[in-house]
A and B are shown apart, each in its own frame.
Chain A
Amino acid sequence: MNITPTTARPVWLLAGVMLTVACAVVALVLGPTSIPASGVLQETLDRLTPFTVDSGLTPTQKSIVWNLRLPRVALGLLVGAALATAGATYQGVFRNPLADPYLLGVAAGGGLGATIAFVNKWGDGNGVFDGVQLAAFAGALLAVVATWSMGMAGDRDRPTTSLILAGVAVASFFTALQTFLQQRNTEDIRQIYTWFLGGLNISGWAEVAQLAPIAIALLIVLAMSGRTLDVMAVGDEEAKMLGLAVPHVRIGLLVAASLLTASAVAVSGLIGFVGLIVPHAVRMLFGATFRVIVPLSIFAGAAFLVASDLVARSVLSPAEIPIGVVTAFFGAPFFIVILRTAGAR
């Protein structure tokens, strides 16, 4: 008898890395300015590895690769990984397939924070620790804390149900405030609207440097928590009897996933669909345990968002369409294909 639990096999992880790298390479090579692919790759190797490679690019081309394309791809990788992993964690903690990273009010809170910042001219959403980013981050966390304190004061026997309901109430309240503010400041509506649709249109490495440390640390912690999410899959009561300190584990996982989401939202606005769909696609293709879903969602989310961003800036090039439109427009049919093929197996 062969005891092989449903786990993220090294070959799958390797495939995930390769897929992610492939998407990143294509996204680097393609852009509104035509630059030779070999030059782009050589320049990237020159910059990111200790090797010295002469790419033969002009200074302008070098600058496009290093200051525009690379940071944008790096941000896409981080944000995609963050949203997909946070979504997988939320689905596990709430034992609910419809849970997404915005379930506890991160989106509504972040949206209110960003709106307050836009109408007060605290920033434009770009740069390092920009006013809009900080306000969105603070608003997102405030909403989660409000949801948590209301939800935990509710039905103690069904903490997850009462959390979800509290999340709905908090999100409605924050959205009401946000809409009110937005309607009173119609001159900012375009900026606000663009922020809500999300995007990776950043000014350079500053945003990446700001997001990377916290995102990578939280991704590692969550990737190690897959087994614990599997224990939670049998429900609070049985998980407790299996020795899991359920209340502590739940708050720990939700804090990690919410921080991760809020950090991503602060930089990229609200990108929908990734956190909901990517973990499900991974589940259907590779197995139902979270020890598979969480680590593979990191790569699948990263690859998916970079690919979506490539589409977002290519279709109407040089104009860009909001990335949230792309994730939904291409993600939904793709998901349905997986749903059908996995169901047929």
Chain B
Amino acid sequence: MTAAISLHGLSVDIAGATLLHPTTLSVESGTWLSIIGPNGAGKSTMLRSIVGATKHSGDVQVNGTSLSTMKRMERARHLAWVPQTPTIPVGFRVVDYVLLGRTPHRHPLAAERDEDLAVVHDVLTDLDLGPFVDRQVSSLSGGERQRVIIARALAQQAPILLLDEPTTALDLGHQQEVLVLLERLRSEGRTIVTTMHDLTLAGQFADRLLLLAKGQIVADGDPVDVLTEQNLATHYQANVRITHHDGAVMIVPLINDLQTSKGQHL
């Protein structure tokens, strides 16, 4: 397998604070890497620096080519980014919004070609968004909206998808729906990198977990090896019991042993 993304000494310093310590890492093509870690660990920072949304040092390579040598349009044909809270322009219909994903494939002054409309058609069909094509994006429910946003990323036809907290705003059913969709996209050959809050879901869907704490990788590997009681106690200050069920890692918070900051038992 080849590395779809490789980071070489990627680091982020803002105003003297190190948000991400120099990181070297490669993500194999066609796999799903999920970045986990407590609040402020640098998950989003890492994802944002990979796509170039945050100023960083070090080098990011995509299929062996450094992103710094690519123009923006070329980058957007390699990497599609789904931010945590995308801006939905007022009054845009689903078709208008998904068509924005074709931006890296056309000149800024040019009209879209039939090919662009065909890609939008295929993506919307693929994601079962046909019934919503003429609806305003802002009128959709959370789960539908997230699918539309992923559709925009797919319209870029980039082999690598980076999603910042793709399930955080969704209820359980819609979380599953989005993750099953991402798993399908991965099985079709795309490389997926996500940041995740829900550790059980992260462990269930990703091939590989990266545990960040204070801007550093503290664990990296198979979900079973990363999601340990010891790791979660050390880096999340969480008291949990880990159980395994049908190959999935289940994390159960232990309320009885949880203490408040005043030392009282809850």
Contacts and interface: CB of A to CB of B under 8 A. Distances in A.
A235 B88 CA distance: 9
B111 interface: yes
A5 B99 contact: yes
B233 to A, nearest CB: 36
Interface residues of B, number: 43
Interface string A165-196: 00000000000000000000000000000000
B108 A244 contact: yes
B89 to A, nearest CB: 4
A343 interface: no
A243 B133 CA distance: 24
A289 B96 CA distance: 8
Contact of B103 (A244, A283, A289): A244
A158 to B, nearest CB: 14
A227 interface: yes
A221 B72 CA distance: 22
Among B52, B87, B112: residue with most chain A CB under 10 A:
B87
A3 B72 contact: no
A231 interface: yes
A240 B74 CA distance: 11
B53 A240 contact: yes
A241 interface: yes
A227 B74 CA distance: 19
A243 B121 contact: no
B109 A238 contact: no
Interface in B103-125: 103-104, 106, 108-112, 117, 120-121, 124-125
Contacts of B120: 3
A242 to B, nearest CB: 4
Contacts of A234: 86-89, 100
A247 to B, nearest CB: 10
A34 to B, nearest CB: 47
A237 B51 CA distance: 11
A225 to B, nearest CB: 6
A289 B109 contact: no
Contact of B91 (A235, A242, A249, A288): A288
B108 A230 contact: no
Interface in B59-85: 71-77, 79-81, 83
Nearest to A242: B103
A105 to B, nearest CB: 26
Contact of A243 (B72, B88, B93, B99): B72
A221 B108 CA distance: 11
Contact of A3 (B75, B77, B86, B121): B121
Contacts of B217: none
A4 interface: yes
A221 B109 CA distance: 8
Contacts of A239: 103
21 contacts: A3-B120, A5-B95, A5-B99, A225-B109, A227-B111, A228-B108, A230-B92, A233-B87, A233-B92, A235-B87, A238-B83, A241-B76, A241-B80, A241-B81, A243-B103, A244-B72, A244-B108, A245-B108, A288-B90, A289-B91, A289-B92
Interface of B: 51-53, 71-77, 79-81, 83, 86-93, 95-96, 99-101, 103-104, 106, 108-112, 117, 120-121, 124-125, 130, 133, 156
Interface of A: 1-6, 221, 224-225, 227-228, 230-231, 233-235, 237-245, 249, 283, 287-289
Given A228-B108, A241-B79, A243-B77, 18 more contacts: A1-B121, A1-B124, A3-B121, A5-B112, A6-B92, A6-B96, A221-B109, A225-B109, A230-B89, A231-B103, A238-B87, A240-B72, A241-B51, A241-B81, A242-B104, A245-B108, A283-B91, A288-B92
